[in-house]
Structures are given as structure tokens and as C-alpha cells.
Amino acid sequence: MTRKVRVLHIIPNFGPGGAERLVVDLMEATDKERFEVAAVSLYPESGTILEKVIKEKGLQVYFLNKHRGLDLRMIPRLYRLFHTFRPDVVHTHRYVLRYTLLPTLFCRVPVRVHTVHNVAQKEVDRVGKLVHWMAFRLGKVVPVSISREVANTVRAVYGRGIHTPVIYNGIPTARFITNAGQDNTKKGRDVVLLHIGRFAPQKNHLLLIEAFALAVKEHPTMQLWLIGDGPLRPAVEKTVVEMGLEGTVLFLGIRDDVPKLLADSDVFILPSDWEGVPLTVLEAMAAGKPVVATAVGGVPELVEDGVTGILVPPRNPEALAKGILQLAKDVDLRQRMGKAARERALERFDIARTAREYEALYLRLLKECGRA
């Protein structure tokens, strides 16, 4: 019997972000007949929603109890783990390459893959860019981009000659298709706009509040539900109060019932200043919801303007408000775009497709180094 290929994902933690969810979904979707999959969280357990999912599904995860900030103890701890687990593939995410690069080289890990989860200019800090530059330019690590636009940024930051395969993020679409396409205005209540994202500069909640304030003046029967938490939440809450929107903008915190919230909403909103391939957009599409989004990063590769949603320029509250109003006022348009969005998500962005593409990449790279 052929030995299974051992794959080890490494990520800072299992918080509520898209990269973290992708790792958990990939671990579950990877072919267990051919691959043995585990993951490493640099930080200790903290009781997050994803950590509960990991335990429920019996996924194998090692927690290395990292301290905040630079923690060089991670290098020998990873070395010992690699020596014990003996991975064929180390697959890194976010900023962990600064800790994994030397141990993977010392332990002679055959294949090293890194997923670039955001535009390269924003993915990591200056130290991270230096580490990534060395790893990618010297051919020690294969960078995988999650969209064509992210691939363009990788070459812009790290060199035009960098080869970076494109593998789009995926989601478990079946989780989101219950009641997909349902339009809640037929129940005689407000049109519900939904946003999911960390309260951080990238997501630009203040732009969303400004656009919503403009739109709700013209179409008062709307609500805006904000899912998530983060450092900028108090400032956004203050702005909502100052603009007199307390009754129509609801802060729902971090939730574990996103499929239900999507089913209960009518339109998904993404006002970000930059993005890679946001899983929240894919989830909304799978749930049969039209999307109003800023045309940044890989978003235009997900949302087809005028077909599955409406794309607007970034940092333009008037354009965002116009897109919101266009869908809020037109039930038929919402349903038509929602149906098209669901079909596109099912066809192109299911996690099974993403897993098969990563598996093919692992096997090709192992073959190239004579380890297949």
C-alpha cells in the first residue's frame, strides 16, 4: 500500500478570518485516502468558533503557545514538530514563513507552499516581505495566489519572474444553499443588507455607514446588519449614533450561524479598500444573494458586474449608495442576480475543487523533486 502524502498547514491561529476558515475547510475536504493532513496554530487555544469546529470534526491540530509579537521559540518548536511529523508538504498561510522557512530547510521538507491570501502589498509587514522575497526568489517556497489580481501583485512586489500558480479559494457551498435565493421583502419587512468582516481599516465600515445613510434617506425600509468585531467597532458604533441610525444599523458580533443570517438577508455588501478573494462574498453567492462590492483585488473575478451583483469604485460612498438602492428597490433584480450568483458559486468556487487543485499541485511538486 502506498504511503499517504503528509501535509502540514501552518497558520498563526484559528480566529474568524478567511485564511483560517479556508485551512479548516481544506483539511476536511482533502482526500483522506491519499493524504494525511494536520495543522499547526502558532498561538494557543482561545476558544474560537473554528477551534470548536476542529474538535467537533476531529481534525488534527498542534498548538505551539506563541507569545504576542516576535517569538523566536517557534523556530525550534517547529523544527522538533517537523522532525516528528515528517511532512512531505508544509503549506503556510499569512505571516508564518518567518518562523517556518529555516526549520523546513533544516528538516529537508520536500515541498514548501505558501498561499498569498491578500494583495501582496498588504499581506505581511516589512520583515515578512524580506523573508518572502528570499523564499520566493530562491525557489525555496512556491507562492500560490488566490486570484489573478493577487498573482499580479506578487510579481509586482517580489519580481516579474516569480511563478505563482492561481488557485481560487473555495467554500463548502452546500452549507449555504438552504433557502438560497429567498427574498425576505415578500414577508412584508425591511430589506436587510448584510456585511461580514472584521472592524479594521481594510473593511472600511465607515464608508459603508456613510453610503447606507445616503441610501436609507431615499429608501427608508432597510436595515444594515454588521457581523464581526475588531478594534474599530467602537468608532463605527459612535458614528452610527451620531448619524441617528441606531434603529436601522445592528451590530450582531461574531456569529456561528452565518448560513442562517445569509438566508435571512437580501443583499450582501462589501465596502473594502483592498481584498484577495473574500470568502464572505463566496458564501453570500452560494446562499443566492446578490452582492454590492467595491471592485478591489480579486473581487471582480468573483462578482460579475450586472449579472451576479454590482461593482462600484472603492472609497466612493455615493456609488455604493447607488448600488444599494438599485437592488433595494427591485425585488426581481435581486432574485435574478441571486440565482446567477448561486449558480456561479456552485460551479466555480466549491471547496472540493480548491482541494483537488492543491492536491494536484502537491503531487506535481513532489514528482519534480523525485519524491512522488
Q: How confident is the model at residue 1 (pLDDT cuts 50, 70, 90)?
A: very low
CB 136 within 8 A of CB 157: no
pLDDT value at position 180? Answer: 53
Q: Delimit the CATH 3.40.50.2000 region(s) of the chain.
A: 5-170+350-368, 173-348
pLDDT at 38 over 70: yes
The model's confidence at residue 11, banded by pLDDT at 50, 70 and 90, is very high
Residue 358 has pLDDT above 70, yes or no: yes
Q: Taking the model in full, what pTM does it have?
A: 0.93
Tens of pLDDT, residues 130-164: 999 999 999 999 999 999 999 999 999 999 999 99
CA distance 225 to 268: 10
Question: What nine digits make up the cell of 178?
Answer: 438552504
Residue 189 has pLDDT above 90, yes or no: no
Per-residue confidence band for 182, with pLDDT thresholds at 50, 70 and 90: low
Q: Average pLDDT for residues 174-197, to the nearest whole number?
A: 75
103-127 pLDDT tens trace: 999 999 999 999 999 999 999 999 9
pLDDT digits (tens, 9 = 90+) for 319-329: 999 999 999 99
List pLDDT tens digits, range 297-315.
Answer: 999 999 999 999 999 999 9
Helices assigned H by DSSP within 107-167:
120-123, 126-137, 148-158
Q: Tell me phi and psi for residue 311, to 5 degrees.
A: -100, 140
Pick the CATH number of 173-348 from 3.10.129.10, 3.40.50.880, 3.90.330.10, 3.40.50.2000: 3.40.50.2000
What are 247-302's pLDDT values in tens digits?
899 999 999 999 999 999 999 999 999 999 999 999 999 999 999 999 999 999 99
What is residue 200's predicted lDDT score, i.e. its pLDDT?
Answer: 97
Under the banding of pLDDT at 50, 70 and 90, the label for residue 179 is: low
Confidence of residue 186 (pLDDT cuts 50, 70, 90): very low
Pairwise CA distance, residues 8 & 96, whole Å: 13
Q: Which three cell numbers stand for residue 351?
A: 471547496
288's CB contacts (< 8 A; 6+ apart) are 177, 180, 181, 182, 338, 339, 341, 342
**pLDDT-derived band at 177, boundaries 50, 70, 90:** confident
Judged by DSSP in three states, 262 sits in: helix
Chain-centroid distance, C-alpha 161: 26
Please answer whether residues 297 and 274 qualify as being in contact, where contact means their C-beta atoms are separated by less than 8 angstroms.
Answer: yes
Average pLDDT of 40-66? 97
- Checking if the pLDDT of 187 tops 70, the result is no
Backbone φ and ψ of 159, nearest 5°: 125, 135
Average pLDDT, the chain: 95
Residue 2 has pLDDT above 80, yes or no: no
User: Please, which pLDDT band fits residue 178 given cuts at 50, 70 and 90?
Assistant: low
- Sheet strand arrangement including 61-63: 61-63, 35-41, 5-11, 89-93, 111-116, 142-145
Question: For the domain 5-170+350-368, what is the CATH code?
Answer: 3.40.50.2000
CA–CA gap between residue 196 and residue 210 (Å, rounded): 17
Q: What is the pLDDT of residues 360-372, one digit of tens each?
A: 999 999 999 887 6
